Chain A
Amino acid sequence: MTERQSIISVRGLTNRFGEAVIHENLDLDVHRGEIIGVVGGSGTGKSVLMRSIIGLQTPAEGHVEVLGENMVGRTEDEAKNIRRRWGILFQNGALFSTLTVAENVEVPIREYFPFIRPPLLDEIASYKIAMGGLPADAGPKYPSELSGGMVKRAGLARALALDPELLFLDEPTAGLDPISAAAFDELILGLQKRLDLTVFLITHDLDTLYAICDRVAVLADRKVIAVGTIPELLALDHPWIQEYFNGPRGRAAADTAKEHAEA
């Protein structure tokens, strides 16, 4: 593979919760402009890895660099400049329940750019909502009035509020029906191309992996055991990887992807 610029670089990451070691000496590189999918069985610490990268979890050991800045042991003030350059979609949307969808989208903009006047703010919120693929009447709704798929789209609209370079998605298609999930995949792929995003994607959804991921990182045995395109991973003979991609679900997803490619 050609030399590419790393936008996230994790070196020797170790995470422990009491006795339980989640990660041990984990390395990972994410290149600029790619969609990287992170897979692994339940409890292999996919979410913990993401939390370590975005600074919500202080690792026991190791070095994490995002957008060229060291993330470990930084003060909140220093981290703020990096925080506005990424957007994060949490697993359950994590929308602020007391705010409407539009207000949710406006929160990051207000936080970093308090001088922008309300009319312009509303216009920005309005096209971010459209960008997230939400219907026109979604703006004044509260999160409790939204369906699961709409919560994710609203979360994505909020993540995109500040034109991030880097987008973190924690299981974006979990809990969605296959049609919504496919639409969501398409949305992410479209946005990634248009906005030149780098996407860090945690998923269990094999269809998503085949449909949109450039590379896939496999978490097992407390580290990233392999990173590569799906054909590259299939060439390895690690039992978990074989089981994962060649199990009945894996094969079904591969067939669908092939059909799409032919069509």
Chain B
Amino acid sequence: MASSAASPPAEGGSEPFRIRGTLTITRAASIQREIDAEADPVTIDLSGVERMDTVGAWLVYRTVRDRGAKVTGASPEAQSLLDQVEEFDKPVQVRPEEGASFGRVIAELGQWMVEVGRTLVGLLGFFGATLIAFMQVASRPKRFRWNAVVQRFDVVGVRALGIIGLMSFLIGVVIGQQGAVQLQQFGAEIYTINLIGRITVRELGTLMTAIMVAGRSGSAFAAQLGTMKITEEIDAMRTIGVSPIEALVIPRMIAAVIMMPLLAFWAMLMALLGGGIFVWLDLGIPPLTYIQRLQEVIPITDLWIGLLKAPVFGFIIALAGCFQGMLVESNSEEVGLRTTTAVVQSIFLVIVLDAVFAVFFSSIGWK
């Protein structure tokens, strides 16, 4: 055995277990194994130890505590370390208490259901609180911070023009290209224009804009309010007497509700432009014909459908974003979680509502 290692156990365990060299955390695992292999009663001889740390002392101490081992040859320093480790041997809970696994699954399911219920009730309550705040703003419009709203217009609307325009342009091109490939097989490529016109104006312009706004602004709302919650800015507002809903939530909602239809209209135009350029270059249909044809095939109700949905989607996005932001309580990790939830929730709600709108508008005869 190596010179620094412990000596092997002698017959009957009467020979002391001698530790030489260092007794530190670096050798903790192997020394523990060797001590475990010793037969009772154990005597540990520390006279050969050159350096010991608290982990080493702990190993010796726990053997004394659990197996009644004797310690010999401890230097004053080693003895003081042993005493010190003993002093801090208090029952400290390290792991959280865990129930049986089956019970735990059921409990988690139950907690999850409670959580879902609470979120729904909370969302409803938040909706009510914003309505009340809207009333208050309407009764005293002079006190309202219109500057904040205009600032939100810039962030939510103007700065989104570029990315939403580009996205819509490309979507127009893709619809045109895919439509043309299929319709050319019947010699009906002129119907590509119908396809581009109706699908972008009625559905995709608004829907894609809503998804982009949810990702861009809904997440920002949740993160901003969440951070303000953590830094106690929102509490500070309350104590000064400023309603956080009035000061933070309402401007964001107004901005989202007003900007969504404008952005959706912009998205429609850009998609039509993208599709138009594609049919001009690929199918050889001149722009003038394209525009004339669009006028013939898109009923004005399509535009109304697209533009009516937009503010509702904007409202949903702002509601989910602000609600999740206000739910943040303790730490920065929660801001990330809440932001993700806000985006997922608002996109989900937008798509569900879009389906509802599709059925509704068809059934009132806007086909």
Cβ-based interface call for B93 (8 A): yes
Measured CB to CB, the nearest residue on chain A to B80 is A194
Q: Which residue from B29, B90, B94 sits with its C-beta under 8 Å from A116? A: B29
Q: Which residue from B28, B62, B80, B92 sits with its C-beta under 8 Å from A139? A: B92
Q: Which of A21-29, A36-44, A124-132, A236-244 contacts B (4 or more CB under 8 A)?
A: A124-132
Q: Is the CB of A130 within 8 A of B89?
A: yes
CA of A195 to CA of B101, assembled, Å: 42
Cβ-based interface call for B177 (8 A): no
Cβ-based interface call for B256 (8 A): no
Say whether chain A's binding surface is mostly helix, strand, loop, or mixed: helix
Q: Is the CB of B95 within 8 A of A127?
A: no
Measured CB to CB, the nearest residue on chain A to B32 is A120
CA of A25 to CA of B271, assembled, Å: 63
Residues of B within 8 A of A162 (CB): 25
Number of A residues, CB within 8 Å of B:
33
Q: Which residue from B58, B84, B330 sits with its C-beta under 8 Å from A194? A: B84
CA of A123 to CA of B62, assembled, Å: 10
Q: Which residue from B25, B85, B94, B331 sits with its C-beta under 8 Å from A109? A: B25
CA of A127 to CA of B82, assembled, Å: 12
Cβ-based interface call for B119 (8 A): no
Q: Is the CB of B28 within 8 A of A113?
A: yes
Q: Is the CB of A98 within 8 A of B333?
A: yes
Measured CB to CB, the nearest residue on chain B to A191 is B84
Q: Is the CB of A139 within 8 A of B95?
A: yes
Q: Is the CB of B331 within 8 A of A113?
A: no
CA of A200 to CA of B89, assembled, Å: 28
Q: In the complex, which residues 108-128 of chain A have their Cβ closer than 8 Å to any Cβ of chain B? A: 109, 112-113, 115-117, 120, 122-127
User: How many whole Å from B315's CB to the nearest CB in chain A?
Assistant: 32
Cβ-based interface call for B332 (8 A): yes
Known: A131-B88, A163-B55. A122 touches B28 (CB 8 A): no
Q: Which residue from B54, B85, B93 sits with its C-beta under 8 Å from A137? A: B93
Q: Which B residues lie at the A interface, using CB under 8 A?
A: 24-26, 28-29, 32, 53-55, 58, 62, 80, 84-85, 88-97, 330-333
Q: Which A residues lie at the B interface, using CB under 8 A?
A: 97-98, 100, 102, 109, 112-113, 115-117, 120, 122-127, 129-131, 134, 136-140, 143-145, 162-163, 194-195
Q: List 26 A-B contacts (CB under 8 A).
A: A97-B333, A98-B333, A102-B95, A109-B25, A112-B25, A115-B29, A116-B29, A117-B32, A122-B94, A124-B58, A126-B90, A126-B92, A126-B94, A127-B54, A127-B58, A127-B89, A129-B92, A137-B93, A138-B93, A139-B94, A139-B95, A140-B94, A140-B95, A140-B97, A162-B25, A163-B25
